[in-house]
Amino acid sequence: MGKFGEIFLGILSAMGGFVEIGELTFSVNAGVRFDYRLLWVTAIGTLGIMVYCEMAGRIAAVRQRPVFSLIRERTGYRSALLTLIAANLVNLLTCAAEIGGIALLWQLLSGAPYRALILLALAVFVLAVWLLSFQAIERVFGLGGLLMIVFIGAALHFGPDWPRLGAGLVPSLPEGGPRDTLLYFYFAVALMSSIMLPYETYLYASGGIEDKWTASDIGLNRLVVSVGFALGGVLSAALLALGADFFGARDIEPQLPGTAALATAAAYGKAGLYAALIGMFFAFGGAAVETALSGAYNLAQFAGWPWGKTKRPRDAARFALAWIALFVLAAALIATGIDPVKVVEYSIVFSVVVLPFSYFPVLMVARDPRIMGKHANGRLANALGWFYLVTITLTAIAALPLFVLTHAGQG
């Protein structure tokens, strides 16, 4: 395949892999509760994940250093261990939520028992990761996730109110009392966290090293991240718009991931429903695979084990056992009957607390010309990097109090 084809596929995979169960849940519900008022968070969060994935990808291309090795080197052993435990707890919870979400989707289609479908999903994912290469995993789930575009079609079908949508890009407080304001900030924090989930950065950098990027791939990295994630951000915005225009207008508050497909069914009938459900399967499945792999990458890079999907499992044995263990634990957790959407909420709020610890070492390395040479951050990347570090630190400080004060978004 030519370079153009590679770029095209990379962009599409980045777009298809952008949305997962947490982002879907919070985007739709943010639209239902606050109309377009939280659209600015989607825009800021999308730019944030672009900035940090670009930096992590650039470090991978120039120095071939994965994020977790850097975290241990730069922040010290204790702090890195704390970040590892927290990041992998988020990975476990997110993976559990995605598997649960998929079992719920399959139950909608087949009516089979929920726990049997969890086992089936576990088997499918373990086999997929065992048998497929890193790039094939990225492509299969990323491109399958592109069916989620049907949500953009549905958002256009129900006609976004463009002036109101434009106004949503400027922060404004909701009408109502202090309780509504608190809820608004809770949703802002959760939406930001769901878009900037740290596993995406870990995985992106590790993937770059797996694909043997060099400094000559920096331009490609920048293009794939900026265009692919921007399109992913449009998809998130469409979900928020559907929350406002379709569900909010009908007083429906979707509690299950499958409910979002009602909007596409209303717009395009059965075909729309199936496209949405299959798209969600690939999007959630991609995130399940990515979180399990990300957990294994983190652990192996922290401990200095051989790692990588390009290696045979026998040559990176503890890495392989780590991702299998993460899948099994996640399936066991969700099979206890805990509501996947509740797990999403916990993982999203917990994840925001980890964000500053994950992103700080990335910024420290990317801005250092002694390490990165002429590929160190320029003024714009540094300004954006610091802006987002301050933003996510403030978000992290606010997350837990908001979670408690709003009773996990229940108001």
Partner 1 sequence: MTAVGGMRRLDLLREVLDHEVVDVEGTSCGMVDDIEFAAGERGPEVAALLIGPGAWTPRLPALFALACERLFGRGVVRVPWPEVSEISETIRLRSKASELGLGRLDRKAGRWLAALPKS
**Residues that bind partner 1 in the complex, under the rule CB under 8 A:** 63, 65, 69, 72-73, 76-78, 80-81, 130-131, 300, 302-307, 312-318, 320-321
Query: How near is the Cβ of 301 to partner 1 at its closest, in Å?
Result: 8
Query: How near is the Cβ of 294 to partner 1 at its closest, in Å?
Result: 18
Nearer to partner 1, 62 or 95 (CB): 62
Nearer to partner 1, 79 or 391 (CB): 79
Nearer to partner 1, 328 or 390 (CB): 328
**CA–CA separation, 239 vs 298, rounded Å?**
31
For residue 70, report the phi and psi dihedrals to the nearest 5 degrees: -65, -40
Nearer to partner 1, 84 or 165 (CB): 84
Give the pair of three-digit tokens for residue 117.
């479908």
Taking residue 123's Cβ as centre, other Cβ atoms within 10 Å add up to 12
Q: In 35-75, which residue ranges form alpha helices assigned H by DSSP? A: 39-63, 67-75
Nearer to partner 1, 65 or 222 (CB): 65
3-class SS letters over 131-173? HCCHHHHHHHHHHHHHHHHHHHHHHHHCCCCHHHHHHCCCCCC
Nearer to partner 1, 40 or 305 (CB): 305
Query: How near is the Cβ of 317 to partner 1 at its closest, in Å?
Result: 4
> 177 in helix, strand or coil?
coil
b (16+ CB within 10 A) / e for 202-228: bbbbbbbbbeebeeebbebbeebbbbb
Query: How near is the Cβ of 373 to partner 1 at its closest, in Å?
Result: 13
Of 4, 93, 73, 83, residue with least CA distance to 359 = 83
Query: How near is the Cβ of 70 to partner 1 at its closest, in Å?
Result: 9
Nearer to partner 1, 136 or 249 (CB): 136
CA distances to 44, 356, 370, 380 from 367, in Å: 21, 16, 9, 11
Query: How near is the Cβ of 318 to partner 1 at its closest, in Å?
Result: 5
**CA–CA separation, 212 vs 244, rounded Å?**
43
Query: How near is the Cβ of 154 to partner 1 at its closest, in Å?
Result: 40
DSSP assignment string, 224-290:
HHHHHHHHHHHHHHHHHHHIIIIIGGGT----SGGGGHHHHHHHHHHHHHHHHHHHHHHHHHHHHHH
Nearer to partner 1, 174 or 313 (CB): 313
Query: How near is the Cβ of 402 to partner 1 at its closest, in Å?
Result: 29
Angle among Cα 129, 131, 134 to the nearest 5 degrees reads 55
The single-letter DSSP state of residue 339 is -
Nearer to partner 1, 81 or 119 (CB): 81
Query: How near is the Cβ of 75 to partner 1 at its closest, in Å?
Result: 9
